Amino acid sequence: MTKTVSAIAASRPSLFSEKTGLADELIDAFLAVRNETERRAAPLSPEDQLIQSMPDASPAKWHRAHTTWFFEQFLLGEHCSGYKPYHPDYAFLFNSYYVSAGPRHARARRGDLTRPSADEITAYRRHVDAAVVKFFREAGEEKLSAMAPLVEVGLNHEQQHQELMYTDILHAFAQNPIPPAYDPSWQFPAAGGSGEDWIELTEGIHSIGHAGDSFHFDNEKPVHRALVGPVRLARNLVTNADWIAFMADGGYTTPTLWLMDGFAAATNEQWQAPGHWREIDGQWHIMTLAGLKPVDPASPVSHISYYEADAFARWRGQHLPTEMEWEVAARAGLLNDAFGIVWQWTRSAYSPYPGYRAIEGALGEYNGKFMVNQLVLRGSSLATPDGHSRVTYRNFFYPHHRWQFTGLRLADYAD
Ligand SMILES: [Fe+2]
């Protein structure tokens, strides 16, 4: 039987507790996440907020509006009697991919939306925020308990868009010949570990996936058993120094190192280095949230596609871990920098776990319909909001994507 949103989400959500007044807990959690979105948007001018530098990226203004539409559509629209949408056209403009929620504006044309203005989106956000807070205050404990899991889906959804706001504006700024700084004081986080250091996983059967009722996305369930190992995993992330050695050894121009699709992508896209790298007077620089900076050899490499990660690993005579290997090692605390710097590509296809069923209704489109032709990334990145990481979290992107903060750690077969 297909589970409901309530059943698949949480009976004890992690962003708020039910120990004291649920309405207040919900309001606090809701406003904290909503305010973080606005904090991330604050340094951006109205012009910055409109740009869509490629079809995969979205304007900051659109992210701000779409996350608002999500609460309007799925919370207020479906559960707050008498609520009228703020604007009759916004569902069309700001629905992303929910076919069952109605027709929508083309994804690749989001940058055409000079109107509504950034200020009008601010007004839209304030209107929906006020309506949601009023709903929380008036709904009553029983209804709020039933709504809490849906609210947490909405908050985690908004946190995912907060990460995209960083990566999308960075991609846009990286196209600018006069590279702007989102935040001049921003710094790439320091790696917690360095050097070649391998951990071993002996052969064993392990539980994979999210256990318990705390918040998780449906794709992390159900818990199932998997045979893992024997395998060796690198304790540390691959660094820019490692990557420069790969480049110097002809890594980008040696077809035998690459998957066929990967070499075609590298050739067509003229990849010679990770994304956002620029060579200036013989020295590599990288576009960061603080503007253009010299590449730091000690930092973990970022903005690489699956294809590049795979080629690098083959150049080293190694490969990428599976997501199960990653989860077992991370759960045991064996990996440095598993979280908070770069998402790590795995060689696991983004597929349903055994026993997976998408949730009912429009939110069933959240994860399940993307389970083809993408690869799983594990961990989290420097752009991931606080409280959004889990050892069972399954991120996913197409193998050519490299505008996220994506890196890798290596795996090797045990002797
Ligand atoms: Fe979304």
Residue 85 CA to ligand 1 centre (angstroms): 18
Provide the whole-model pTM.
Answer: 0.94
List Cα–Cα distances, 133 to 32, 68, 246, 311, in angstroms: 12, 13, 53, 50
Q: Using the CB atoms, write b or e for 288-305: b if 16+ within 10 Å.
A: bbebbbebbeebbbbbbb
Residue 93 CA to ligand 1 centre (angstroms): 13
Q: Tell me whether strands 375-378 and 395-397 are parallel, antiparallel or unpaired.
A: antiparallel
Through-space distance between the first and last CA atoms of the chain, rounded to whole angstroms: 45
**Predicted confidence band of residue 10 (pLDDT cuts 50, 70, 90):** very low
| Mean pLDDT for the stretch of residues 27-55 | 98
Contact 133, 30 (CB under 8 A): yes
| Mean pLDDT for the stretch of residues 126-153 | 96
| Cα four-point dihedral sign 47, 48, 53, 54 | negative
Residue 162 CA to ligand 1 centre (angstroms): 10
**Average confidence score pLDDT of the chain:** 94
Residue 309 CA to ligand 1 centre (angstroms): 27
| Mean pLDDT for the stretch of residues 259-277 | 98
Residue 72 CA to ligand 1 centre (angstroms): 13
Quote the tokens at residue 307. Answer: 């294809």
Q: What is the pLDDT of residue 364?
A: 86
pLDDT at 394 over 90: yes
**Predicted confidence band of residue 97 (pLDDT cuts 50, 70, 90):** confident
pLDDT at 288 over 50: yes
pLDDT at 367 over 70: yes
Question: What DSSP string runs through 334-360?
Answer: --TT-SSB-EEEEEEE--PPTT--PPS
Portion of the chain with pLDDT greater than 70, in percent: 95
Residue 234 CA to ligand 1 centre (angstroms): 33
Q: Where are the domains of the chain?
A: 2-174, 198-412
Q: What is the pLDDT of residue 15?
A: 63
Residue 198 CA to ligand 1 centre (angstroms): 38
Q: Options 1.10.3470, 3.40.720, 1.10.8, 1.20.120; which CATH number does 2-174 get?
A: 1.20.120
| Mean pLDDT for the stretch of residues 118-141 | 97
The amino acid sitting at 198 is W
Residue 101 CA to ligand 1 centre (angstroms): 13
The amino acid sitting at 41 is A
Q: In terms of CATH, what superfamily is 198-412?
A: paralog of FGE (formylglycine-generating enzyme) (3.90.1580.10)
| Mean pLDDT for the stretch of residues 75-89 | 96
Residue 325 CA to ligand 1 centre (angstroms): 29
